[in-house]
Amino acid sequence: MSSSQSPIVRREQPRIATSSFVTFLIGKDEEKFVVHKDFVCYSSPALNAAFNNDRFEETNNLTYKIVDASLEAFEYFAQFIYSQRVEVPSDVQASNGTDNFATLAELWILGDRFLMPKLQNQAIKAIWELSDITATVPTNIFHYVYENTVFGSQLRHLMISFCVLDLTVQEIGDEVDDFPKELLLDTLQVDITLMCPDRCIDYQFERHISDFEVPE
């Protein structure tokens, strides 16, 4: 290795036996969750900075408040911290699909906030799979997604793909209140592109989960 190259620093896997604890206060009622600090800091650069910098209150009291998170979303968040996976139990998938879409969208937003691309990709994969299993388009999360993401968001791209590939014009018209105006415009723009072969010569009328992942 030349002197101009920086050495690769590999993070050590956290260990339960040697880790202290931090507390998360979730929602307006500040429901308490206690988790291992090393696992939190390993998973999130943002939380690592919050818990290991004397300039932040969280470093001193080892407590972090997330007032706009639901308990259900944080349970998946904690699951990911320990396993690096997001798994929706099959009985939950079958019994409560629309609520699960909302929880998983919220989880993606948490991943974005705390600089956790792997969590974002796990969450969007879970939304993709849940939509396939339940044969449901998650129209109930369209407004939430557009209110909490920015232009170019991969989660927005997935919502647009649902509109373009899984819904008819009639279905959109029947439930138009479920669609943010910006989503309708994004969908129209894609539809126009598909009708102009000269402008989309490499476009394939199909999709893959990798189209909606963020770089890890």
* Integer Cα distance of 89 and 208 in angstroms: 23
pLDDT (tens digit per residue) in 33-87: 999 999 999 999 999 999 999 888 898 999 999 999 999 999 999 999 999 999 9
Whether the pLDDT of residue 94 is over 80: the answer is: no
How far apart CA 47 and CA 44 sit, in angstroms, is: 5
The answer to pTM > 0.95 is no
pLDDT in tens, 155-207: 999 999 999 989 988 999 999 999 999 999 999 988 766 655 444 434 445 68
Region 92-117 average pLDDT:
88
Pair 56, 106: CB distance under 8 Å: no
Length of the chain: 216
- For 136, residues 6+ apart whose C-beta sits below 8 A from its C-beta are 97, 98, 101, 130
Question: How far is the first Cα of the chain from the last one, in angstroms, to the nearest whole number?
Answer: 25
The model's confidence at residue 88, banded by pLDDT at 50, 70 and 90, is: confident
Q: What is the CA radius of gyration of the chain?
A: 20
